[in-house]
Amino acid sequence: MLKTISVAVITLAIFTSCSTVSPSSSSFGASRKLKNTPVPSAGCGKELVEFKSGTYTNTITSAGLTRQYIIDIPANYDKNKPCRLIFAMHMMGGSMNSMVDNKFYGLKSCAERDQVPVIFVAPQGYTDQMPWRMRDDKDHVFLADMLARFKAKLSVDTSRVFCCGFSFGAMVTYSYSLDFQKDLRAVACYAPANWNIYLPTTNKHEPIAFYSTTGTTDGTCTFVHSDARKQGGKYCVLTHLADNGVTVLPEIPVATTPTHVTTEFKGCPAEYPVVFGSFVGGHTDYASDPGSGDNWITKETWDFFMRF
């Protein structure tokens, strides 16, 4: 159930050729307008040399480490048309291969169904015995290095880069959302936490479109871990509400029946919505309402990303 607190305009961007807008002529503000003209990367128009169509593993040296990622370049990729880029961050116990197996949290199935060209990337964690690093910014350097490579060599719409993840994958995605607001158009965090993960020492307090979910009985990444320390999924939502311009922070509705409750909060610009999905359930990125076998989390994520 979508609880309408503000009016959201759901739109599909019209994708045009690489010559439409050059990165240097598009301001950050213009590139965040709804239905903005795609902003092509430097790789737009280039032949695939280092990359190829299909799904495969690649490596990159980043912050002194050899890092791996799986990249999925769709069959309908066109070097002359900038396309969306989505990072899918794996959970504890998972890997980049898990993201391929679950079709990048189901979003690849949505892209294929709607015939939307999307490059999917699943980075590999586990470089410090944890899924994603807890004590330094090397995963942030990793993301920056991947973005630089993809923008230089692939036809990417630099105004439509997204990131999503579950559990530890949501935690690193949330961490990115405090640091990469100019690179990521929107993020989706399924059961995020803002502890036991590296967070930037200074939140830039820049706006970003933010979607998250947490189950009411989640005992792993709890909705409220500590009010005193402002830890928990609740505070991930409140942080982005404040960063997106909401001055009086609201109470966050939580589900009390088997039907989930999704709230879009008023006070945010249409370009920077904050949306929270609550459901009666535990630690999961798969939830369906009574009488439905569909994962509403995947559906809402795809719809959220496709607004931009």
Dump the DSSP string for 268-279.
S-TTS-EEEEEE
Looking at the domain assignment, is residue 31 inside a domain?
no
Rounded CA-CA distance 177/204 in Å is 10
Q: How does the average pLDDT of the chain come out, rounded?
A: 92
pLDDT at residue 82 greater than cutoff 80: yes
- CA-to-CA separations, 204 to 30, 163, 171, 181, 287, in angstroms, rounded: 20, 18, 17, 8, 33
pLDDT at residue 23 greater than cutoff 70: no
Rounded CA-CA distance 202/208 in Å is 16
* CATH code for position 55: 3.40.50.1820
pLDDT at residue 11 greater than cutoff 60: no
Neighbouring CB atoms inside 10 A of 156's CB total 24
Rounded CA-CA distance 115/70 in Å is 21
Neighbouring CB atoms inside 10 A of 60's CB total 15
Write down the pTM of the prediction. 0.92
Looking at the domain assignment, is residue 285 inside a domain?
yes
The whole-number pLDDT of residue 202 equals 83
Number of domains in the chain: 1
Looking at the domain assignment, is residue 32 inside a domain?
no
Looking at the domain assignment, is residue 39 inside a domain?
no
Q: Give the domain extent around 60.
A: 44-305
* Per-residue confidence band for 166, with pLDDT thresholds at 50, 70 and 90: very high
Rounded CA-CA distance 81/83 in Å is 6
Quote the tokens at residue 285.
């990125």
Q: What is the full DSSP assignment across 181-241?
A: TTT-SEEEEES--SSSS---SS------EEEEEEETT-SSS-S-SBTTTTBSHHHHHHHHH
Looking at the domain assignment, is residue 67 inside a domain?
yes
The whole-number pLDDT of residue 192 equals 98
Looking at the domain assignment, is residue 16 inside a domain?
no
* Per-residue confidence band for 17, with pLDDT thresholds at 50, 70 and 90: low
Dihedral-angle region of residue 169 (phi above 0 means left; psi in -120 to 50 means alpha; beta otherwise): alpha
Quote the tokens at residue 39.
């902003």
Quote the tokens at residue 79.
């070097």
60's enclosing H/E stretch is strand 54-62
Q: Please, what's the b/e burial string for 10-26 (b: 16 or more CB within 10 A of its CB; e: otherwise)?
A: eeebebeebebbeeeeb
Question: Considering just the CA atoms, what is the radius of gyration of the chain in Å?
Answer: 18
The whole-number pLDDT of residue 29 equals 83
Rounded CA-CA distance 278/253 in Å is 8
Rounded CA-CA distance 231/149 in Å is 34
Looking at the domain assignment, is residue 201 inside a domain?
yes
Looking at the domain assignment, is residue 279 inside a domain?
yes
The whole-number pLDDT of residue 22 equals 40
Mean pLDDT of 57-78: 97
